[in-house]
Chains A and B, each alone.
Chain A
């Protein structure tokens, strides 16, 4: 693709969106480290695929639209597919964790360092 001059405002806005998305993704992943157990850890990565992904895609839409000189919104499809699939894995993890806890019979759980990665 031929590089097109991107106006300053779009450059700034896209950078801001990218930084927001990156920061949210980092915080979400930090959640895996800082939260105490499997159930709480499931909440961490949801940051990545909601607003984190959203801001990166918005930046992508903005820059792609300016470069192509028309509205490019194929990125909406990525959102659609992620929103339709990510909750299913989260629910599966949650259910699996619940069944395991039930199978343990309420025993005090040993710390599990990296089960939700």
Chain B
């Protein structure tokens, strides 16, 4: 029974994608989309051996807006670094962050969030999964970055995926 929610969520997402791509709600496209998405879901089930079990969709929506806000803010910050004086541009460096999130889908989402946010890029996860390495453009306050990642992103992701 555990696999049911993620299966439907995947199908619904694909179905919505199909309708959006075709920009239509015509009955023919609805039927075609339904058949296609169910076939694709069944056909690719083997390629997705791990079941994602997202719950707390409300937390996911909240996280989405938090990330959107952070992306906008760090855009301005990075633009400031690029246009700013030369010494601010040499502050970049790697840093390690201890991490408690273990769900692979959660980690993949975290990687995308960190990389999509300007100023930080995911640079790897330690083999035991206990520490992740990120590269930060404006590395002045390591503590602040650890707090941002752990409280703003990791905690909601653990809520959603674990």
Contact = CB atoms under 8 A, between A and B. Distances in A.
A72 B24 CA distance: 11
B111 interface: yes
B96 interface: no
Interface residues of B, number: 29
A36 interface: yes
B12 interface: no
A42 B89 contact: no
For the residues of B in contact with A, the DSSP-based class is: helix
B92 A40 contact: yes
Interface in A26-41: 27-28, 30-31, 34-37, 39-40
For the residues of A in contact with B, the DSSP-based class is: helix
A74 B20 contact: yes
A76 interface: yes
Interface string A14-56: 0000000000100110110011110110111011001110100
Contact of A94 (B20, B135, B137): B135
Contacts of B72: 51
Contacts of A77: 17, 20-21
A36 B21 CA distance: 41
A65 B68 CA distance: 23
A95 to B, nearest CB: 7
Nearest to B120: A43
Interface of B: 17, 20-21, 23, 71-72, 75, 78-79, 82-83, 89-90, 92, 94, 111-112, 115-124, 135, 137
Interface of A: 24, 27-28, 30-31, 34-37, 39-40, 42-44, 46-47, 50-52, 54, 72-74, 76-77, 80, 83-84, 86-87, 90-91, 94-95, 98
